A and B are shown apart, each in its own frame.
Chain A
Amino acid sequence: MSPTRVVLAKPGLDGHDRGIKVVAMALRDAGAEVVYLGIRRTPEEIWRAALDEDADVVGVSVLSGAHVELARELLAERARIGAGAALVVGGTIPAEDAVALRAMGVDAVHPVGASLPDVVESVLSLGSKERTA
C-alpha cells in the first residue's frame, strides 16, 4: 500500500512549532510522507497544498487558544475548495473544546498531553480510511 500522505501546518499567528515538528518526525519514522508548510498559514494555503500534495490527512497545531475559530475557518475552506483530506487538530485544547471541535466536524483532536504513538496511530488510521474511501 502506498504511504499515507500528510500535510502539516500552523494556522493563525501562533509560532510555537515544537509539537508539530515532533509529530512530523514521528510520522516520517512511521512511514508517512509528510509536508510541513510552516507557521502563519491561511486556510486557503493549507487546503491548496493538501490538493497539490494529494494529502490524505491535514494536521494543524494551535497553542494560542484560538483553535475553535481557526478550525471553523479551516472546515469552511475545506468545503469551499472541495478538498477531501481529513482534518486533525492538536494543541492547548481544553476537554470541552475538544468535544466542540469533534461536533463541528474535525476528524480527530489531540489536546496537549496526548501520547505521541496515539497521535501517529490516529493520523495513519485516518489516512488509510481516506485511501479506501
Chain B
Amino acid sequence: MTTTDTTDAGIPVAPVYVQSDVAPGLAERLGAPGAPPFTRGPYPTMYRGQLWTMRQFAGFGSPEDANARFHFLLERGQSALSVAFDLPTQLGYDSAHPSARADVGRVGVAVDTADDMVDLFDGIPLDRISVNFTINATAPIILAMYLVAAERQGAASADLAGTLQNDILKEFLARKTFIYPPAPSLRLSCDVIEYAAGALPRFNPISITGYHAREAGCTAIQELALAMANAIAYSEALVARGLAFDSFAPRLSFHFATTMDLFEEVAKLRAARRLWYRIATERFGASEPASGRLRFFSGNAGTTLTPQQPLNNVVRSTIQCLGAVLGGAQSIHVMGYDEAFEIPSEEAVTLSLRTQQIIALESGVARTADPLAGSYFVEALTDELEMRAQALLAEIDAAGGAAAAIEAGTPQRWIAESAYRFEREVSSGDRPRVGVNVYASDGDEPQLGDMFAADPGVAERHAARTAARVAARDPEACRSATDAVSAAARADGNVMPPLIAAARAGATLGELADVFRSVFGEFEEPALW
C-alpha cells in the first residue's frame, strides 16, 4: 500500500464509502452538538453562537517587544493572546544566567519578574482579553507573576480568562522543557489545577496536549492516545488528592495539532471528544456533563511547512485551519508561511490572522455545527480512529499508565520511529511534498521579503533591567517569601499561594525555579538512543 490509499496514520481508505460502511448506532455515537457524547462539538450552536478564538502564538525579545506585537495583532482583529516564552523562561533561568545567553528572547519573550509581566500586558485589560501561556515546567511561577500583574491592573481573579499549558508529562515525550523529575513535576501541575479550581473560575489551568508529540513525529492515532493517557494521569493524581472529578474536570482543556490529511484530522478531533466523554463518565464517574465536554485549541503543524517555495505554506496553513474549524476547535493558531526559517514577520502573521478571518467570515463554514456529520467516510474514519486510539490506550494502561510508559521510553520510541518512517517516505518520493520531492524548483528559490531579525542586544539589556529591579526590592521580605515557597514544596502544601506572595515581593523566576530545584532535584533524560 502507498500513501495514496492510506491516511497519514496508515488507515486504509476505500475508493468510495457507502451507508453500510458506517456501523449501526450512529445516532447514539453522535448525539447533538453540545450534548453527550459531544462528538459534534462542545456547544449547541457552535460558531453560529460564537466564532472560535483567533489566537496567534506570539512573543520574542523583551516584554516591550512582545507587547508591541500583541498590540499589532489586537489592532488587526485578533480576539485573544497567546504568549510564547523564551527557552530560559521555560527552563527556569533568568536572562543573566550563563546557560541562558544564546537563547534569551529567541523563541519567545524573556520574563524574569512580575514587573516584566506587568510590562508584557501594558495597555491590555486582563479582565477582558483572554491569554494563553505556553509554559510548563515553570507554569506555577508564570501563573503567579500573571496574577500579580492582573492585581496591579485592578482586574478581579474571577474575571481572568485564559489557558496555562501546564502539561508537563508531554514535555518528557516531546519539546523537552522539563526541569524536575516526573513525580514532583506532576505534583506542581496538579497544584496549579487545584488552586485554579478554587480561585480562577474562568481560567483553564491545563491544556492537555497531543500537539507536541505529533510535531515530534507521531501519528494522529498516537496523538489521541497519548493526550488521553496524560489526561487520565492528571485526573488520577487529582482524585488521589481527594478532589472530586467534577470539581476540576470542566476546566481541563486540550490541544491538538491539525495537519494536512484533512478528513483524518477532522475525524480525529471528533473522535477526541467522544473518547474523553467516555473516559470521564466510565473511568471517573463524571456526573456533570461539562466534565466530559472536551474543548480544545488547535495549532497548525510547523512540520508541514517547507522552506522550499515558502509561499506554498500559505495554502498548507489554510487547509489546516479549515480542518480545525470543521473539527470544532475553540481557538486556533495559524502558522506563518516563513516559520520554516524564523519567527513570523509582521506580514506573515497578518496573513495568518487574515486566513482565519476569511475562513470565518467568507467561506460559510461557520454557519452550521459539525457540517461533515453523516458523511459515510468521515463517520467511518471517526469510528476507526477512536477504536485504534482506544487499543493503544489499553497498551499504555497495561504498561502502568502514561508516567510509567514515558519512564520506559515506549511512546518516545513510537514517536521517533514514526518520524523516521515519514522522512523515508519523503526521501523515496512515496509521500509527495510539493516543491520538495515533486514540482521542485530548478535553480534559485524565490526569496521571501523582510524576515524577522532577532535583536542581539536583548539578553544584556534584559539582564541589566532585572538586576536593577532586584536591587530595588526589599531583600528581607523577598527572602522570607521564597522561604515560604520552599516550605510549601517540602511539606506537600499547595505551592501557589506562597508563589504569588513571592512574585509580589519581587522574587525572580530563576530564584523560584532554584527553590524547586533544591527541593526536587533536576531530571536527566535517560539515554534511550
A residues in contact (CB < 8 Å) with B: 12-18, 21-22, 24-26, 36, 38-39, 64-66, 69-70, 73, 92, 94, 111-113, 115-117
Contact A94 B451 (CB under 8 A): yes
Contact A12 B303 (CB under 8 A): no
Contact B176 A69 (CB under 8 A): no
- In the complex the two chains form, what is the Cα distance from A15 to B136 in whole Å? 13
- In the complex the two chains form, what is the Cα distance from A38 to B176 in whole Å? 11
Contact B416 A66 (CB under 8 A): no
Q: A14-B87, A92-B340, A94-B342 are in contact. Are A64 and B420 (CB under 8 A)?
A: no
Q: What is the distance, in angstroms, from A59's C-beta to the closest C-beta of chain B? A: 13
- In the complex the two chains form, what is the Cα distance from A109 to B174 in whole Å? 24
- In the complex the two chains form, what is the Cα distance from A65 to B177 in whole Å? 16
Binds A, one of B29-37, B97-105, B224-232: B97-105
Contact A15 B103 (CB under 8 A): no
B281 on interface, CB distance cutoff 8 Å: no
Q: Can you list 17 pairs linking A and B with CB atoms under 8 Å apart?
A: A12-B87, A13-B100, A15-B176, A16-B176, A25-B416, A26-B420, A36-B527, A38-B525, A64-B107, A66-B102, A66-B106, A92-B342, A94-B342, A112-B341, A116-B424, A116-B426, A116-B427
Q: What is the distance, in angstroms, from A73's C-beta to the closest C-beta of chain B? A: 8
Contact A69 B101 (CB under 8 A): yes
- In the complex the two chains form, what is the Cα distance from A92 to B336 in whole Å? 14
Query: Across the two chains, which residue of chain A brings its CB closest to B454?
Result: A65
- The proximity string for B residues 82-96 relative to A, scoring 1 for CB distances below 8 Å and 0 otherwise, is 000001101101000
For B171, the chain A residues whose CB sits under 8 A away are 15
Q: A21-B420, A22-B420, A65-B454 are in contact. Are A113 and B308 (CB under 8 A)?
A: yes
B215 on interface, CB distance cutoff 8 Å: yes
- The proximity string for B residues 422-457 relative to A, scoring 1 for CB distances below 8 Å and 0 otherwise, is 011011000000001000000000000001001000
Residue in A13, A15, A24, A70 whose CB lies within 8 Å of B529: A24
Q: A13-B91, A18-B419 are in contact. Are A65 and B107 (CB under 8 A)?
A: yes
Q: What is the distance, in angstroms, from A21's C-beta to the closest C-beta of chain B? A: 5
Determine chain B's interface SS by DSSP, over half rule: loop
Q: A92-B341, A94-B341, A111-B307 are in contact. Are A64 and B427 (CB under 8 A)?
A: no
Contact A16 B175 (CB under 8 A): yes
Q: How many residues of B contact A (CB 8 A)?
A: 42
Residue in B215, B454, B527 whose CB lies within 8 Å of A18: B215
Query: Across the two chains, which residue of chain A brings its CB closest to B171?
Result: A15
Interface residues of B in 367-425 (CB under 8 A from A): 415-416, 419-420, 423-424
Contact A18 B342 (CB under 8 A): no
For A18, the chain B residues whose CB sits under 8 A away are 174, 215-217, 303, 415-416, 419
For B307, the chain A residues whose CB sits under 8 A away are 111-113
For B93, the chain A residues whose CB sits under 8 A away are 13
Q: What is the distance, in angstroms, from B10's C-beta to the closest C-beta of chain A? A: 18
- In the complex the two chains form, what is the Cα distance from A34 to B436 in whole Å? 28
For A65, the chain B residues whose CB sits under 8 A away are 106-107, 342-343, 454
- In the complex the two chains form, what is the Cα distance from A16 to B343 in whole Å? 16
Q: What is the distance, in angstroms, from B182's C-beta to the closest C-beta of chain A? A: 15
B residues in contact (CB < 8 Å) with A: 87-88, 90-91, 93, 99-103, 106-107, 171, 174-177, 215-217, 303, 306-308, 340-343, 415-416, 419-420, 423-424, 426-427, 436, 451, 454, 525, 527, 529
Determine chain A's interface SS by DSSP, over half rule: loop
Q: What is the distance, in angstroms, from A66's C-beta to the closest C-beta of chain B? A: 4
Query: Across the two chains, which residue of chain A brings its CB closest to B445?
Result: A95
Q: A25-B420, A36-B529, A38-B527 are in contact. Are A17 and B106 (CB under 8 A)?
A: no
- In the complex the two chains form, what is the Cα distance from A72 to B436 in whole Å? 31
- In the complex the two chains form, what is the Cα distance from A27 to B484 in whole Å? 51
Q: What is the distance, in angstroms, from B219's C-beta to the closest C-beta of chain A? A: 14
Contact B177 A15 (CB under 8 A): yes
For B175, the chain A residues whose CB sits under 8 A away are 15-16
Query: Across the two chains, which residue of chain A brings its CB closest to B525?
Result: A38
Contact A21 B88 (CB under 8 A): no
For B308, the chain A residues whose CB sits under 8 A away are 113
For B527, the chain A residues whose CB sits under 8 A away are 36, 38
Contact B341 A70 (CB under 8 A): no
Query: Across the two chains, which residue of chain B brings its CB closest to A42?
Result: B99
Given contacts A15-B171, A15-B176, A18-B303, 19 further A-B contacts (CB under 8 A): A13-B93, A13-B100, A13-B103, A16-B175, A16-B216, A17-B216, A18-B215, A18-B416, A21-B419, A36-B527, A38-B529, A39-B525, A64-B106, A65-B454, A69-B101, A69-B102, A92-B340, A112-B340, A112-B341
Query: Across the two chains, which residue of chain B brings its CB closest to A120?
Result: B427
Contact A113 B451 (CB under 8 A): no
Q: What is the distance, in angstroms, from B415's C-beta to the closest C-beta of chain A? A: 8
Q: What is the distance, in angstroms, from A80's C-beta to the closest C-beta of chain B? A: 17
- In the complex the two chains form, what is the Cα distance from A129 to B288 in whole Å? 67
Query: Across the two chains, which residue of chain B brings its CB closest to A70?
Result: B102
Q: What is the distance, in angstroms, from A58's C-beta to the closest C-beta of chain B? A: 15
Contact B529 A21 (CB under 8 A): yes
Residue in B106, B416, B427 whose CB lies within 8 Å of A21: B416
